[in-house]
Amino acid sequence: MATVSSFESLRFPSRSDLHQFGELFEPLYNASTEEARRQAVAALSRCPQIPDETALFIASQPIGVAAIFLMGAKAIPDATLMRILRATGPEHARAIGRRDNLSPVMIEALVGSHQDHASRRGGEDREASLEEAARLGREERIREELRALVRAATPTVEAPPALQPASEVHQALLVRFARTGEVGMLAVTLADALGSSQWLSERILLDVSGRQLAETLVALDMPSADTVFVLTCIYPHLASGSAELMLWALDPAEATLRVESWQRADSYTNGDGVREAANADDAQSNGQDHHDRSSETGRQRAAG
């Protein structure tokens, strides 16, 4: 802690200071108690400049120690964050996702990292041994040949994957972009969480009533408090309790079925079918308004 305090007191550390601290920190850290390690990491997360090797070392520690540094340290450049993402697991990626100053490049890297981790977990579950992997490969080649024969006879489109709850990274990014008003990035993240085209997420956001976004967030199992926050940021007219009332009136099972139907339509028709599915409620609600306007026009003509 004395070494860290001395380094922390340097307002403008020289290259020599950074090099010397980088050499001293790791052995001192390994010789310290758990509590001293946590205090040192917390102190370094406030420093405006630290050596890259020290940042990488801290980031490689268990998430219980590294989390506060990954979430709050402003001295970590994007290049170092990229190296940390490649070298660590999903827990460290979630901590990085909670940073307040993420660049668009880092946001894209976080989404890609989430997809890579999910793919690796699926591959590990399927391939228990080299022999099993070879067998699966042979079976996959046979299935692909059969699919090709079927496609040649009757072209088809595979159904989209089942709707899954939004990951913690998706939830954190949705809240962040709602707070900053970045609707474009919100649409990108929502499409990734749905496994759909961006056309579908943009169509959902265009429903100014907020109901379609509310149904989508409920179907993605977003926490209620975060859902209310996102809705009121995107649709200010839902403040003062309106968003809570809308969520209270929604049936999660029905919302999930509705969003899955949008997913299927989006997958099958690249947007044409989902436009009909997403507009079904709008057409029904607008029908009565059209009838009322037609009746009023008829009365005016009769009076004339």
pLDDT in tens, 57-81: 988 888 888 888 888 888 788 888 8
Non-local (6+) Cβ contacts of 233 within 8 A are 178, 179, 181
Q: How confident is the model at residue 17 (pLDDT cuts 50, 70, 90)?
A: confident
Work out the average pLDDT over 240-249.
89
Whole-angstrom CA distances from 279 to 29, 258, 283, 287 are 59, 12, 6, 12
Rg (CA), the chain: 26
DSSP3 helix / strand / coil % (the chain, rounded to 5): 75, 0, 25
> Of 1-5, 139-143, 243-247, 278-282, which range is least confident?
278-282
Q: How far apart are CA 109 and CA 85, in angstroms?
A: 8
What is the torsional sign of CA 176, 179, 181, 187? positive
Non-local (6+) Cβ contacts of 7 within 8 A are 13, 17, 21, 47
**Would you list the DSSP string of 21-52?**
HHHHHHHHHHTS-HHHHHHHHHHHTT-S---H
Q: How far apart are CA 96 and CA 72, in angstroms?
A: 9
Q: What is the pLDDT of residue 270?
A: 54
- Look up the pTM and report it: 0.41
Q: How confident is the model at residue 138 (pLDDT cuts 50, 70, 90)?
A: confident
Q: Across the chain, what does the average pLDDT equal?
A: 79
Non-local (6+) Cβ contacts of 118 within 8 A are none
What's the distance, Cα to Cα, between the start and end of the chain in Å?
Answer: 90
| H or E element, residue 113 | helix 104-126
Q: What is the pLDDT of residue 19?
A: 87
What is the torsional sign of CA 193, 199, 205, 209? negative
